[in-house]
Amino acid sequence: MGAQGYMYFGIAALAIGFVAAVGVGKKRSRIAGGVMLGAFAMHAAVIAVDLEKDPTDHNLLPFEFVILGVCAAPAYAGAALSRLISR
């Protein structure tokens, strides 16, 4: 995925965190954490399929999850923004 794809993913994470947390009580951070956990789970599935095809793929595997975590972090900002809107 190119740089633009990661930017779109961050924007989508922000939007999902906002929309999913609107009207929710105090569990907004759990919703944002669920967005991040879902992204990690889907990426792990993609890695498993890729490694079946070519075992030398994903040589920098831990860094992929770090980058994915940074790109999914705007979900927390979206959840915080929904808190401001709810007041």
Map tokens 């951070």 to a residue: 29
Higher per-residue confidence, 87 vs 45: 45
- Is residue 86's pLDDT more than 80? no
Give dist(CA 44, CA 33) in Å, integer: 16
Q: What global pTM score does this model have? A: 0.83
Residues of the chain with pLDDT > 70: what percent?
98
Give dist(CA 5, CA 37) in Å, integer: 19
Chain segment 52-84, per-residue pLDDT in tens: 999 888 888 899 999 999 999 999 999 999 888
Single out the residue of 76, 87, 57, 85 nearest to residue 15, CA to CA. Answer: 76
